[in-house]
Amino acid sequence: MKQGKEEFIHLSTGKLAVQYWGQEANPVLICLHGWLDNMASFYPLAKKMSGQYRVILVDLPGHGLSDPLADGAHYYIWQNIETLLELLNKLKLDQVNIVGHSMGGVVASLFSGTFPDRVSSLILLDSLGPMTSSAEQTPGQLAKAIIDSQKISSGLRIYPDTQVALSARKKSSPSMSDSALLPIVERNLIANGSGYSWRTDTRLRHTSKVRLTEPQVLAFLSAISAKVLVIIAEQGIVPKFWLQERLSVISEHQLVVLPGHHHFHAEIESVELINEAITGFHSGQSVNNMGDS
C-alpha cells in the first residue's frame, strides 16, 4: 500500500512521526492510534478517506517511529493531550476533526473536553473514554504501579524475522488478520543484532499510577462541544453500560454499531462501512442504529 508523505515534527518531548494523506485543501482529519499500536493501523482507512480529507496520521510518543519520552518521564494519558495541543500549534491548525481508536480515542475525548474550541468533530472507534477507578481504589492503584515500575526488566526479546514477531503479537490480538496486523508489527520493529526487537517503549506496559474517577470522566465528556460519532465494534471491548451513562452527558452525539472486532478499522472489509459512517456523519446524515442522539 502506498503510504502518505512522512516527516518528523520536533516537539518539547522529542520527535513525533506524522504522515499526510490527501490534498492540503481538504478538511483535516487527525487519526490517533491505540495502545502499543502505531499509525499503520490507519493505513486502510487513510487510503479510503484521503480523497475527501487531509488525513494526518500520528505515532504517539513511544510508539512507532516517534521518540520515547525522556528518562524519568511517565506515560500518563494527559501527556498525550499536551502532545496533541503542541502538534496542532506547530502545524498551525486552529480546529480539526479527530478520529481516535481505543487509547487514541481516550486521548481524543479528553482533549476534546479540555480544549473544546480546537475540535470541530470527534469520531471514536471502539472507544468511549478511559478506564476508571474509584477514589477508594487510588492508594492501591498507586502502590501496584510503583512496584510494577521498579521491577527489573528481563531485557528485549530478539525475533529472528518479522513473521515470528507477528506470531508473538498475534497472541494479544488473535482476531486480527495477518494482513491488518503486519504493517503495525513492521513499524514497531527495529533491527537488533541478528534479528529484530520491539522499538515500542517498554514503560508503556507499566500499570497506570493514577486513574481518573468516573465523575471526572463524565466532566470531561460533558465539556465536549464538538459533534461526536461513536462507532462501536460488535465484538469490541467497550463496556455496554458506558454506552448509556457516558453518551448521556455528550450534548451532540450519534452511535453506530458495526460488525467486527476491536481493530475493525484496520481490516479491509470494515473500512468501507466506517468510511460511510464518517462521511455521512460529516454531511449531516443520521447514522444512528442504536440509542438516541
Catalytic machinery residues: 102
The Cβ of residue 180 has, within 10 Å, a number of other Cβ atoms equal to 23
Long-range contacts of 2-6 (CB under 8 A, 24+ apart): 2/47, 3/43, 4/46, 4/50, 4/55, 4/57
Distance from C-alpha of 281 to C-alpha of 120, rounded to nearest angstrom: 12
Distance from C-alpha of 10 to C-alpha of 184, rounded to nearest angstrom: 23
The Cβ of residue 218 has, within 10 Å, a number of other Cβ atoms equal to 19
Helix ranges restricted to H, the chain = 43-49, 77-90, 103-114, 138-149, 162-170, 178-187, 214-222, 240-245, 268-282
Distance from C-alpha of 95 to C-alpha of 116, rounded to nearest angstrom: 9
Q: Is the dihedral of CA 247, 248, 251, 252 positive or negative?
A: positive
Angle at alpha carbon of residue 215, lines to 210 and 221, rounded to 5°: 100
Distance from C-alpha of 71 to C-alpha of 119, rounded to nearest angstrom: 32
Per the document, the length of the chain is 293
Give Cα 180 distance to the centre of its chain. Answer: 16
* Adjacent-strand bridge partners of 123: 99, 229
Q: Which three cell numbers stand for residue 59?
A: 505515532
